Amino acid sequence: MADNARARKLADRIQVVVAETLDRRIKDPRLGFVTITDARVTGDLREATVFYTVYGDDEERAASAAALESAKGVLRSEVGKQTGVRYTPSLTFVPDALPDTARTIDDLLDRARASDAEVREASTGKNYAGDADPYRKPEDEDEASE
């Protein structure tokens, strides 16, 4: 079993090798604007998961996923050549959910801003139900005891 530092270094190297190979050697027309966002390697260095994003609609994402699957052998052999490890890890491509998650968070923040604006609008020109500062202060206690 390899240590985590070695697995992380190998994952970083795999990310770079896959991105460069996609840019230079893979000429599949189905491959759209693919960005390799992350790579993770198991502790035994036998399997690598490569995360990617594709700019475009669902059809372009599906076409790019098919192109990555068909280029998996070329990418794996290139990873083996450039990393120099004894066993070349098998590659698994997974679409990264980060852009969708970021979009969801942005939508929630926009909804919260709109809600805050409604509350601010409703509170303009209104007064507090009691005193502006309803908390008792130490000076008030001295006056009350006299």
pLDDT tens digit sequence for 125-137: 877 777 767 777 7
pLDDT tens sequence across 83-100: 888 899 999 999 988 777
pLDDT score, position 11: 92
Query: Is 23 a residue whose pLDDT tops 90?
Result: no
Angstrom CA distances, 60 to 20, 53, 68, stand at 21, 11, 12
Output phi, psi for 33, to 5 deg: -80, 85
Query: Is 49 a residue whose pLDDT tops 90?
Result: yes
Alpha-helical (H) ranges within the chain are 4-24, 58-70, 72-83, 98-123, 138-145
34 forms bridges with which residues in the sheet?
54
Cα four-point dihedral sign 119, 122, 125, 127: negative
The confidence band for 2, taking pLDDT boundaries of 50, 70 and 90, is low
Q: Tokens 């502790």, residue?
A: 43
Q: Which of 132, 14, 13, 10 is nearest to 75 (CA)?
A: 14
Read off the pLDDT of each residue in 18-31 and give the average, rounded to a whole number.
86
**CA-atom Rg of the chain in angstroms:** 28
For β-strands 90-95 and 47-55, DSSP reports them as parallel
* Contact between 9 and 40 (Cβ < 8 Å): no
Q: Which of 59, 79, 71 is nearest to 17 (CA)?
A: 79
Q: Is 143 in a helix, a strand, or coil?
A: helix
